[in-house]
């Protein structure tokens, strides 16, 4: 599965806990995500996706709030952004599917990470 599709598929899911991404996907993790795309049940899919999510993320300190709190902005190739929000006891991308980097209004101060492995991952 191409890297951009794997990232998009992984980040289209909500995960328990408040976490931030600390590194890009490895080829082995992309293979697991591709397998998850073929899963016949949500349970099977999450069994494959959850270990990948936990491997590339770390917990974020703070209390769970019902209103969304911006944790981080994950970028891909300098063109697409995935704002990660902690909401209640979960982490999810808002809006679903991400957005063009050019539309990041008001989210410029959040921690950022580049997920494209074609360039070295960087934090801002």
Q: Where in the chain are the domains?
A: 3-114
Instruction: Give mean pLDDT, residues 63-76.
Output: 85
Reported confidence tier of residue 49, pLDDT bands at 50, 70, 90: very high
Please say if the pLDDT value at position 21 is more than 70.
yes
Reported confidence tier of residue 77, pLDDT bands at 50, 70, 90: confident
> Using CA atoms, how far apart are residues 122 and 23, in angstroms rounded to an integer?
9
Q: Give the DSSP letter of residue 25.
A: P
Reported confidence tier of residue 57, pLDDT bands at 50, 70, 90: very high
Q: Could you count the other beta carbons within 10 Å of the beta carbon of residue 93? A: 21
Output the pLDDT for position 61. Answer: 83
Q: What is the pLDDT of residues 93-118, one digit of tens each?
A: 999 899 998 888 766 578 889 988 76
> Using CA atoms, how far apart are residues 71 and 6, in angstroms rounded to an integer?
21
Structure tokens at 54: 């936990």
Buried b (16+ CB within 10 A) or exposed e, 9-38: bbbebebeebbbbeebbeeebbebbeebee
Please say if the pLDDT value at position 56 is more than 70.
yes
Please say if the pLDDT value at position 124 is more than 60.
no
Average pLDDT, the chain: 87
* Cis amide leading into 39 (omega within 30): no
Element (H, E) at 80: strand 80-87
Output the pLDDT for position 35. Answer: 95
């Amino acid at each position: 599965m191409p890297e951009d599709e794997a990232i998009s598929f992984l980040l289209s899911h909500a995960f328990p806990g408040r976490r931030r991404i600390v590194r890009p996907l490895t080829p082995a993790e992309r293979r697991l995500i591709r397998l998850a795309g073929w899963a016949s049940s949500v349970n099977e899919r999450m069994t494959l996706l959850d270990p990948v999510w936990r491997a590339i993320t770390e917990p974020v300190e703070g209390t769970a709030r019902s209103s969304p709190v911006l944790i981080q902005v994950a970028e891909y190739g300098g063109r697409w952004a995935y704002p990660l929000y902690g909401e209640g006891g979960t982490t999810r991308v808002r809006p679903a599917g991400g957005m063009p980097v050019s539309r990041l209004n008001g989210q410029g101060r959040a921690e950022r990470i580049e997920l494209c492995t074609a360039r070295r991952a960087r934090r801002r």
